[in-house]
């Protein structure tokens, strides 16, 4: 194969998104250089357990999507839909846990983008990613609807692969955010 699975257009989009996040990651790491104490102090305010659950949720969700793609490659539409729904459920779990985290930081602690540099990065990175999870879920939901209508088959399932590729990117981003923002110090 010369091209990645799914529509090439989504890959151009994925590349653009990856570049933006890469810039944010590098900015985080280099800004931390001059604010080590601040970063270390406020990193400890973050909820490690929530981050663990969320990482597991996204990885599992990504795995379910992989299974959905293999199901449609075997022309098994019903399994494809079921796996995608399971992936969506995992995405929803992520959102719920994340909202719990935000509820604590935003409402209980009253933190905002302007609180300090660490929270600026924490909120920017995670909220931007949070919006991507929602976007990814919207895409997956559209794929589920199409799959349920029987639009995909073993011969033609570019749509499933396109949605899957985007969703894996959402997972991929989190795989870096998790250690960078929550663990590395």
Residues 5-34 that bind another protein (CB under 8 A): 5, 7-16, 18-20, 22-30, 32-33
Candidate list 88, 92, 148, 185; residue touching another protein; CB under 8 A: 185
The beta-strand segments (E) located in the chain are: none
**Measured between alpha carbons, how far is 95 from 12 in angstroms, rounded to an integer?**
26
**Measured between alpha carbons, how far is 11 from 169 in angstroms, rounded to an integer?**
10
Candidate list 78, 100, 109, 112; residue touching another protein; CB under 8 A: 112
Candidate list 42, 65, 84, 118; residue touching another protein; CB under 8 A: 65
Burial of 8 (0-12, 13-18, 19+ CB in 10 A): exposed
Site for another protein in 82-101 (CB under 8 A): none
> Please, what is the minimum distance in Å from the beta carbon of residue 95 to another protein?
16
**Measured between alpha carbons, how far is 148 from 77 in angstroms, rounded to an integer?**
7
Which structure tokens are listed for 76? 């098994």
> Please, what is the minimum distance in Å from the beta carbon of residue 104 to another protein?
17
Candidate list 79, 102, 104, 128; residue touching another protein; CB under 8 A: 128
Secondary structure class of 142 (helix, strand, coil): helix
Candidate list 79, 92, 124, 141; residue touching another protein; CB under 8 A: 124
């Amino acid at each position: 194969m010369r091209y990645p699975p799914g529509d090439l257009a989504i890959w151009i989009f994925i590349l653009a998104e990856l570049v933006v996040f890469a810039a944010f990651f590098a900015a985080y790491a280099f800004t931390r250089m001059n604010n080590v104490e601040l970063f270390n102090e406020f990193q400890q305010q973050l909820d490690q357990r929530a981050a663990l659950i969320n990482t597991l949720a996204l990885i599992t969700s990504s795995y379910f999507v992989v299974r959905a793609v293999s199901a449609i490659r075997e022309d098994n539409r019903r399994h494809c839909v079921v796996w995608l729904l399971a992936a969506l459920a995992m995405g929803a779990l992520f959102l719920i846990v994340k909202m719990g985290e935000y509820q604590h930081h935003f409402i209980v602690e009253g933190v905002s983008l302007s609180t300090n540099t660490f929270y600026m990065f924490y909120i920017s990175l995670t909220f931007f990613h949070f919006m991507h999870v929602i976007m990814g879920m919207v895409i997956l939901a559209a794929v589920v609807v199409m799959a349920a209508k029987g639009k995909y088959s073993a011969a033609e399932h570019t749509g499933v692969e396109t949605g899957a590729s985007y969703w894996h990117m959402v997972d991929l981003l989190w795989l870096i955010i998790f250690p960078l923002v929550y663990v590395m110090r």
